Structure 1
Amino acid sequence: MNPVTLPDAEWFDLAPPGGGAPWRIFLARPQGEAPAAGFPTLFMLDANAGFATFTEVLRRGAVRPAATGIGPMVLVGIGYPEEDDARARRHFDYTAGPGAEGSARPTGGRDAFLAFIEQVLKPRIAREVPLDPARQTLFGHSLAGWFTLDVMARDGGAFAAYVAVSPSLWWDEARLDAGLALPRAVPPRLSLMVGEWEQALAPWQAERPEAGEMAARRARRAMVDRAQGFAERARVTLGPEAEVRFERLAGEDHASILPAAMARALRFALAA
């Protein structure tokens, strides 16, 4: 059998200056000539777990932009080589320190990871394809969603728009709230999505052997209430010039929400 390939997509490994563990970078280019200002770009975290799906959603949507609200853009995925312990690395990259529930894995790599994106990755991609620096979006799910909100709150100028899907606010909600109060030059655009069944058991999960433990964890983390509350606080704190959207996606849980959120994220990224 022949392997399936993604048209106009590629990957390469990129290490930080001075050496260190590389990140695996995935790149999907749009066809056709770039606009005068360059292509809009979406940077996807946890790319090992969905870059191909995201690329296909973008490709299909861009065929009929008038109907879908999705047009040509560059998709950049940030992931890890297959031989790496991705769970350990993402816990380090996406966090500023230990979370409320503690962690057996190292944490606190947030600043170094953002510096890699800003100082190494963005210039490298810009040498490959023209990018519009004023139309760049950061997309993160779960713990990567916490990172996305933290960058929006504390380094808002890094991207023009932010999409946080099922963000793990429970990790360190106080830091995110403190970041909202910091001064910023440009009001951000934020889309925050969470699944209906992220705070309680979905009907198909109720009979599972681990249902009791799952229900207790979901109640403790309160993903839906926390996400909605953060969106409301962001609207008030960031002021009327900021754009803050909140959506609770019916029928989805923490895992199933990811593909359901992708078309919405692309439309949001391109709407400015």
Structure 2
Amino acid sequence: MEPGIVIEGSSWFDLAPRGGGAPYRVLLALPRQPAPPAGFPVLYLLDANASFATLVEAQRRGAERPAGTGIGPMVLVGIGHAAEGLYDRGRRTFDYTAGPSREAGAGTRSAEARATGGRDGFLTFLRDEVQPAIAARAPVDAGRQVLVGHSLAGGFVLDVFGRDSAAFAAYVAISPSIWWDEARLTDGLARLDGTPRLSVVVGEWEQELAPWLRGQPGAAEIAERRGRRAMVSRAEAFVAQARAALGEAGRVDFECLAGEDHASVVAPALTRALRFATAG
């Protein structure tokens, strides 16, 4: 394992897709108490190399005082890569997208030049291989499984929420990259099946230049990109459309966290994801 990812009480195993391809590293943290009759809820976190340790520590602290924090015991699962660094950027771009970016000027940046289109295969892997592997290792409640992703992974979460709603009971999209293919995500809402729960969390400074960046080299380019991608307003618009699609029976939460940007929003958003999973 990578230094900094191993934390006490967690384990990991590598799982290769049956159809072939490089294995994924699956991280697992189990509750310390006995399972309830229906089993534990399960939270699946994408990009686990970057954030799994943060998630586990937040859950452990919160579960010490569940009545006060709203965070209860649950199985935590991280899906990452057996690679150095926080991200395998090539694989995540492929796995989380159904096709190339629709952003104006796509192809001008390295992220947009990577291979895309692995969305369906990755979802099949999560649903048909990862979920059964976790159920074989822990008593889980199949009706309380939550998918969580940040940035491009958050866009994947929204895509699955609309087009394959039954794959999970609830979805948490943190700073979702709606700009990658907004039309596909909004079109997917017409395919909603049932009433899956959704939470969308963004940071205040994701759509404009944060105060600490003003006057720094490259600030103008950052400000232009953030304005063009409109992370906050696109998220608000998607939430409004999702609420309309689900109707009164649905639950769609939205939060814009003060003082946070695209990177710093992850830690507080994961605490909210844990509470959202417990509430289910």
Contact 1:199 1:221 in 2 (8 A): yes
Contact 2:161 2:192 in 1 (8 A): no
User: 1:241 Cα deviation (Å)?
Assistant: 0.9
2:246 to 218, 238, 257: 238
Q: Secondary structure of the residue that 1:10 maps to in structure 2?
A: strand
Amino acid paired to 2:261: D
Post-superposition shift, 1:18?
4.0
Q: TM-score normalized by structure 2? A: 0.93
Spell out the pairing of 1:154-169 with structure 2 (5 A cutoff). 154-169=163-178
Q: Is the 8 A contact 2:174 2:202 kept in 1?
A: yes
SS at match of 2:249: coil
Mapped to 2, the partners of 1:261 and 1:18 lie a distance apart of 34
Verify: 1:212 aligned to 2:220, yes or no.
Answer: yes
- Three-state SS of the structure 2 residue aligned to 1:76 is strand
Q: How does 1:5-24 map to 2 (within 5 A)?
A: 5-24=6-25
Shift of 1:153: 0.2
Residue aligning to 1:87? 89
Tell me whether 1:228 sits opposite 2:229 in the alignment: no
Identical columns (%): 61
Matching residue within 96, 100, 104 for 1:98: 100
- Residue of structure 1 aligned with 2:186, choices 163, 166, 177: 177
Give the drift of 1:122.
0.7
Residue 279 (structure 2) pairs with residue 265 (structure 1): no
Instruction: Output the TM-score relative to the length of structure 1.
Output: 0.96
In structure 1, C-alpha distance between the alignment counterparts of 2:201 and 2:102, rounded to whole Å: 22
CA contact (8 A) 1:8 1:30 kept: no
Give unpaired runs (5+ residues) of structure 1.
Answer: none
1:92-132 CA distance string (max 9 Å, x none): 00000011133210000000000001111111111111110
Per-residue CA shift, 1:215-261, capped at 9, x if unaligned? Answer: 00001000010000110111112211110011000000000000011
Further displaced range: 75-84 or 167-176: 75-84
Q: Answer yes or no: is 1:57 the counterpart of 2:66.
A: no
CA distance in 2, matches of 1:116, 1:38: 22
Shift, 1:183, TM fit: 4.8
3-state SS of paired residue (2:42): strand
Give the drift of 1:83.
Answer: 4.9
Matched to 1:153, the amino acid is: G
2:57 matches 1:78: no
Distance in 1 separating the partners of 2:118 and 2:21 = 13
State the distance in 1 between where 2:80 and 2:8 align: 19
Secondary structure of the 2:259 match is coil
Structure 2: gaps (5+ residues): 107-111
1:30 aligns with 2:39: no
| Secondary structure, counterpart of 1:181 in structure 2 | helix
2-structure distance, mates of 1:82, 1:63: 33
Matched residue type, 1:89: R
Secondary structure of the corresponding residue to residue 50 of structure 1? helix
Q: What is the aligned length?
A: 269
Aligned CA-pair RMSD: 1.3
Q: Which amino acid aligns with 1:68?
A: T
Provide the C-alpha distance between the structure 2 equivalents of 1:183 and 1:61, rounded to a whole number of angstroms.
32
